[in-house]
Amino acid sequence: MTTAAADLLPLAEPSARLLETVASHGLLGSLHEWPKEPLAVPEFDVLLAEARRQRLVGLLTRSAVDGRLPLTPEQELAVDEAWTEAMRWNVHLERATVRMVDELGAQGIETRNLKGVAAAHLDYPDPSWRQSSDIDLLVRPDQIDAAARHLADHGFTRPVAEPRPGFDRRFGKGATFVAETGFELDLHRTFAMGPFGLTIRIEDLWADAQPFRVAGHQLTALVPELRLVHACFHTALGDRVPRLVPQRDIAQLVLSGQVDPLAVRDLARRWGCEVVLAAAIRRSWRSLAIADATALSEWARKYQPSPEEGRALAAYHKDGAKYAELSWLALKTLPLTERLTFGWSLAFPSSGRLGGRELTLQQRVQRAARGWSGSKRRGSEPPAEETA
């Protein structure tokens, strides 16, 4: 075990660090320290609320059951209640996942389970350690329209509409749908919007797969290397403050020995997303205070992004016109023949296709210009060292 001191500096204030400690539970190489006594009421309440928000109740409960997190009897009751509530939601989501996969399969639509259900069953010692918030299914680009139609025909609503017909299939990350029962289903074409999303080779996502079983039903996940890359995208390009669950997914996959480090790096090089992987793995190692040095963590620690990579990564963490800026940055990655269609779809979306907002022609031109000028202006900024 090697200590990479620079990567283990605390990132956050004590309450956030305690949540990171919870997120690290069960990782033998983590240097996080656990409290010796039960937390005082206010600190415990904050921890439980944050664990609920970040979908870490499974790990919080496990750490208490395993005797790492000391609790008062009242706190034990609160954790029991939170665990039961979280797991009720998860078994419902899991059943809904199986039903959706079966329904789409009956329409000839192939799926791959992403993130939650697949990670819980394939990458963790027990599925109760890994909570899900929604259902994520990868669908082939030429089947995404049919999948969306099927969902719409079965009571799902789509809060943000497709900018123009065909956009999802050609350029989009995917689309979010909401079931009548309240859960969200994300149909993915690829892992991310923006420049890093459009350089992903879709054929790589479908080249191979890993089957797994849930309650007697067979589902299909991505292979471990792709699951790791997806967790890195989720960490580095998702929320402005990276969530701990995908960071833990990264640690699970890297430390389990399931992934071939050279295959992962080769994939990242071909997709032009090495900076995404490096930033996410570094962040995961720091948040979870992992002392173990692996081939991938060492590569990530030493990786030096180019100025262009740094700018592209930074764009995902800007406030304000993030969508527009990412879209314009994405233009650069497209073949010339596709740029016009992509740009036109975003600048001039179909009538009524902006989440129900109608825009005048003048507003559409202004919107397009804002995205373009924002992209050009930020293009001259120095690269961010690490924003994920």
Partner 1 sequence: MSVETSVGTERWVRRAGVFHRDRGDRIVALRPDDDNAVVLDATAAAMWRRLNQGRTLGELAASLAEQFGVAAQDIEADVEAGLLALHEAGLVTRR
| Residues at the interface with partner 1 (CB under 8 A) | 61-62, 65, 80, 83-84, 87-88, 90-92, 94-95, 126-128, 214-217
Name the residue nearer to partner 1 (CB basis): 214 or 268: 214
Sheet with 210-214, side-by-side order of all strands: 174-178, 184-188, 135-139, 111-113, 217-221, 210-214
Tokens encoding 94:
């899991």
- Count of CB atoms within 10 A of residue 192's CB? 24
Task: Indicate the DSSP class of residue 5.
Answer: G
Least separation, in Å, of the C-beta of 135 and partner 1? Answer: 13
Name the residue nearer to partner 1 (CB basis): 41 or 65: 65
C-alpha dihedral over 375, 381, 386, 388, to 10 degrees? -20
Q: Which residues contact 355 (CB under 8 A, 6 or more apart)?
A: 159, 160, 161
Least separation, in Å, of the C-beta of 215 and partner 1? Answer: 5
CA–CA gap between residue 252 and residue 313 (Å, rounded): 24
DSSP letter string, 89-155: HHHHHHHHHHHHHHHHHHTT--EEE-SHHHHHHHTSSSGGGS--SSEEEEE-GGGHHHHHHHHHHTT
Least separation, in Å, of the C-beta of 95 and partner 1? Answer: 5
Least separation, in Å, of the C-beta of 115 and partner 1? Answer: 17
Name the residue nearer to partner 1 (CB basis): 120 or 346: 120
Name the residue nearer to partner 1 (CB basis): 95 or 377: 95
- What angle (nearest 5°) sits at the alpha carbon of residue 139, between those of residues 133 and 141? 135
Name the residue nearer to partner 1 (CB basis): 181 or 337: 181
Name the residue nearer to partner 1 (CB basis): 65 or 369: 65
Least separation, in Å, of the C-beta of 92 and partner 1? Answer: 6
Least separation, in Å, of the C-beta of 235 and partner 1? Answer: 25
CA–CA gap between residue 252 and residue 191 (Å, rounded): 19
CA–CA gap between residue 159 and residue 122 (Å, rounded): 31
Pick from 330, 332, 373, 331: nearest CA to 194: 330
Name the residue nearer to partner 1 (CB basis): 59 or 278: 59
Name the residue nearer to partner 1 (CB basis): 137 or 192: 137
Least separation, in Å, of the C-beta of 61 and partner 1? Answer: 6
Least separation, in Å, of the C-beta of 294 and partner 1? Answer: 29
Q: Tell me the CA end-to-end span of the chain in Å, nearest whole number.
A: 26
Cα dist from 186 to 114, 253, 354, whole Å: 10, 23, 18
